[in-house]
Amino acid sequence: MTPQRIKHYRLREKLGEGGMGVVYRAQDEQLNRSVAIKLLSGKCSEDPKAVERFHREARITAALDHPHICTVYEFGDFADAPYMVMELLNGQTLNELIDGWPLELDKLLDIAIQVCDALAVAHDSGIIHRDIKSSNIFITEHGVAKVLDFGLAKLCKKDALGLANAVGPLSALVPSSSMSIPGLAIGTASHMSPEQATGKELDSRSDLFSFGVVLYEMATGALPFQGLDATQILQAIVSESYRQPSKLNPNLPKELDRIIGKVLQKDRALRYQTLGALKADLVKLWQDFGGYASSHEVPPPRAESKTASCRSSCTTAIRRPLESRVGWCRPPARCGETAQHI
């Protein structure tokens, strides 16, 4: 039975539900503000691994105090079920914003630079996200990007080059009906780095590759590596090439082709080594197009446009109006899962 309140939080409405739990809109009656509460429920609340993942997500996210990372206010247990209190976000995921269409260049660069800032803070804190994808990036109604879901994140140590390296071996996947490979790697198949896809030890450059997949999505509306199932997708990531973004979206500048090509290098030694280096090239590209003031550390929030033109060389289409969605992120995963669905 769903509680009506948790401590001084009154639950208002359900925002999302998954096999692992439920997310509610709630009212903080002490501070008189709306929040989102994620409840781990059912069998998951009795699963030590699920509870530990939930607590790890809360601790890591709460430690990363940054405007482009969803804020965790509190977490604890209520009636033997873990809960997490977070800021309530209005908007939609980046995956919903893309919706199969390329984004305008200035919007793409704006979002990309914000996400670079967020991930750089995580890496500087010795944390690898391990599940960067467009559905784990939320865009508020004011155009502010928020990185979500640190449930698969790994606390790491820094090597001599300053790269965050995962401590200990990767855990095996829990078999599921999703497009994933049991016993091989952790994450989402479509956004895994080659080293992640082959179960190797990870460092922060794995997140850069995953973010490169997101950049490709924003530039083209499509994924760079595709297949009928997770096995085919991972094979493509490890050994196959992809079509240059400008082949799918001719209006893209060649410099963006170069940037995406570098971040999607299969050999991590050939990629950007840090988010700062990637951000520098993105900022320069935006400056070249007159869209970024170099005095700004973080781009100012941009209001969402109700319509946007399709960047095709021969056609123009009106995108459907952006739906205003409320929530902190997608519904929780299935109980016991250590890997996310594609």
Which value, to the nearest 10 degrees, does the dihedral of the CA atoms of residues 264, 269, 274, 276 take? -80
Contacts of 331 (CB under 8 A, 6+ apart): 16, 17, 18, 21, 22, 23
Exposed (0-12), middle (13-18) or buried (19+): which is 97, by Cβ within 10 Å? buried
Choice among 131, 149, 203, 207 that is catalytic:
131
CA distances from 110 to 92, 173, 184, 194 (A): 16, 34, 35, 27
Clarify whether 106 is annotated catalytic.
no
Distance between CA atoms of residues 147 and 66, nearest Å: 10
Q: Are 138 and 148 in contact (CB under 8 A)?
A: yes
Task: Kindly state the DSSP code that residue 277 receives in the 8-state scheme.
Answer: H
How crowded is residue 32: how many other Cβ atoms within 10 Å of its Cβ? 7
Cα separation, 209 vs 192, in Å, equals 7
Q: What are the structure tokens assigned to 321, written together? A: 């109006």
AA identity, residue 271: R
H/E stretch holding 93: strand 90-93
Residues 6+ apart with CB under 8 A from 262: 270, 271, 272
CB atoms within 10 A of CB 161: 9
User: Cβ distance 67 to 299 under 8 Å?
Assistant: no
Query: Terminus-to-terminus CA distance in the chain, angstroms?
Result: 31
231 touches 342 (CB < 8 A): no
**What residues are labeled active site?**
131
